[in-house]
Structure 1
Amino acid sequence: MFNFSSYINSPYFPYLFAVVLAIPFLVLLRQFVFEYIKMKNQELKMLSVKGNAQNKSQAYERMVLFLERLKPANLVTKFDSDLAKHEYLYLLEKSINEEFEYNASQQIYITSNSWRDTVESKNAMLKMLHDTYESLGENADLSDFKTIFLMNYMNGPDFISENIDALRREVLLVT
């Protein structure tokens, strides 16, 4: 027969009673801690995905802004009109390369095709600047250079606008 009074009178009964009471609390505490950790990991994943999407959209915005600044209509308004052609060409080339280098880190967030197209647009614009400069004689002034440069771009393919359109299409696919 089971003798309950012998267990109650035992010197170990308070410890046994404490263990029996503590087990459900320990189980609940363990479950709470694991659920809390799981939720925090999910939150971190969501934040990193949101941050990554935000970085991507900012990268596309910066590339479009770079390409907009690369358009000849925006380039010809840069710098003082009292410069010599060679000074103007030097400053334009330096400005384009500096802005490109500033945005070079964005290649991590955009596709390799978009980055390649952006690099090709920059290089094509620099080539067009140099070709225009070399095609002019020594007698041509800066306003002639700017006019011929604009006309050369308008008569050729609009590679910058095509690149911007491709970036826009890509953003729609990414988001």
Structure 2
Amino acid sequence: MTSFSGYLPYAFALIIAIPFLVLLRQFVFTHIKLKEQEIKLLAMKSNSDNKTQSYERMTLFMERMKPSNLIQRFDKNLAPHEFIFLTEKSINEEFDYNSSQQLYITKNSWKNIVDSKNAIIDTLHKTYEGINGNATLDEFKTIFIMNYMEDEDYISKTIEDLRREILIIA
């Protein structure tokens, strides 16, 4: 019996230490799981913020493409063909700048945005072809707006679709 009495303090320390180590291990694993969940939630929030910002940027792009806003750009002393060139260049540059937003926008909305951009550019060119280059810039702008109004208001429709989608996301 004397041989075990020397180990008694160690056995007592083990009996006390083992439950403590088990609880410590459980605490650490629980803490790690909570931190992983926190990181996931932050990533989801960040993704949601990116989506919201994308919808805002593309709505602004669509607003800027409305003919009533396009005709206010550039010098009034331009010829219609110069206005068309600069307007088309401006639309394409802004579109290219925002093209990364398609990562956060639904395919349908992105298609509507691209279609609207192309339709505005087509309307610019068709208006110019219709006047045969025989109009002042003010006359061209008036005819351009009238041609747009005769068609379906695809820009406003696209903006409304973007609004509906962002409400679903938010």
TM (normalized to structure 2)?
Answer: 0.93
AA aligned opposite 2:67: P
SS in 2 for 1:20: helix
1:4-31 CA distances to partner (integer Å, 9 max, x unpaired)? x6533x2x44433332332122112101
Q: What displacement does 1:58 show?
A: 1.1
In structure 2, how many angstroms separate the alpha carbons of the residues matched to 1:20 and 1:124? 79
Residue 129 of structure 1 pairs with residue 124 of structure 2: yes
1:37-95 CA distances to partner (integer Å, 9 max, x unpaired)? 01001101111111111111111111111100000000000111112222211110111
Q: What displacement does 1:166 show?
A: 1.2
Residue 55 of structure 1 pairs with residue 54 of structure 2: no
In structure 2, how many angstroms separate the alpha carbons of the residues matched to 1:16 and 1:90? 89
Matching residue within 95, 101, 108 for 1:106: 101
Identity of matched residues, %: 59
Matching residue within 146, 150, 153 for 1:155: 150
Matching residue within 4, 7, 15 for 2:4: 7
Q: What displacement does 1:113 show?
A: 0.5
1:101-153 CA distances to partner (integer Å, 9 max, x unpaired)? 11111111111111001100000000001111121233311111111111111
Matching residue within 57, 62, 71 for 1:76: 71
Matching residue within 85, 90, 103 for 2:85: 90
Paired residue for 1:34?
Answer: 29
In structure 1, how many angstroms separate the alpha carbons of the residues matched to 2:142 and 2:125? 14
The root-mean-square deviation of aligned C-alpha atoms, in Å, is 1.5
In structure 1, how many angstroms separate the alpha carbons of the residues matched to 2:54 and 2:130? 36
Q: Please, which runs of 5 or more residues in structure 2 have no aligned partner? A: none
In structure 1, how many angstroms separate the alpha carbons of the residues matched to 2:77 and 2:28? 71
AA aligned opposite 1:136: I
In structure 1, how many angstroms separate the alpha carbons of the residues matched to 2:100 and 2:57? 11
In structure 2, how many angstroms separate the alpha carbons of the residues matched to 1:138 and 1:76? 17
Q: What displacement does 1:174 show?
A: 2.3
Larger Rg: 1
Residue 66 of structure 1 pairs with residue 66 of structure 2: no
AA aligned opposite 1:78: R
In structure 2, how many angstroms separate the alpha carbons of the residues matched to 1:146 and 1:19? 89
SS in 1 for 2:133: coil
